[in-house]
Amino acid sequence: MLASEAWQILERAQVVHAEAAVAEAVERVADEIQARLHDTLPLVLAVMGGGVVFAGQLLPKLRFPLEFDFIHVTRYRGTTSGGAVGWPVPPHVPLRGRTVLVIDDILDEGATLAAVRDRFLAEGVAAFYAAVLCEKVLSRNKPIRADFVGVTVPDRYVFGCGMDVEGAWRNLPAIYALGESP
């Protein structure tokens, strides 16, 4: 994608959640996680690349001991439609017996996060929790629910705050939806 194309996408997009609303949601989620996991010494895993922005905002607000690492699991690979779940980078540490908190950008259809949960449960985690910045509101059931959700978003392709559109705009501080097709 050319820079000019990325700018055109942003110009046609609509703000779904402004920067202030995102910051407020991160604070609330941090408080909820703090209340639930403060004495568990969890292993916190950010899902790369989308979850890195949310994790970077969330981690400094968690005032308890934790271990941090990352995983890379994806269905999108630079496109706007999901495919098969792939694991470019699996967990680096043993999970058996651990309390695990996975931080991701969005719970869309739920296939990716459900695959993470299922794999981690098969590896023997003691407890699995998921925190997502966004949950997409869909008319159909999802195979998983997140324990901690920042904001809900409509059933449109959203980007910003770690979520990309064709590889661009993960760095935006607000959440946008793609413009409607002409």
Catalytic residue among 104, 105, 108, 164: 108
Rounded distance, CA 25 to CA 133, Å?
8
- Residue 62's H or E segment, with its range, is none
**3-state class (DSSP) for residue 163:** strand
Query: What is the number of residues in the chain?
Result: 182
DSSP summary character for residue 96: T
The answer to whether the CB of 106 falls within 8 A of the CB of 160 is: no
Rg (CA), the chain: 16
Active-site residue flag, 164 = no
Q: Which residues are catalytic?
A: 108
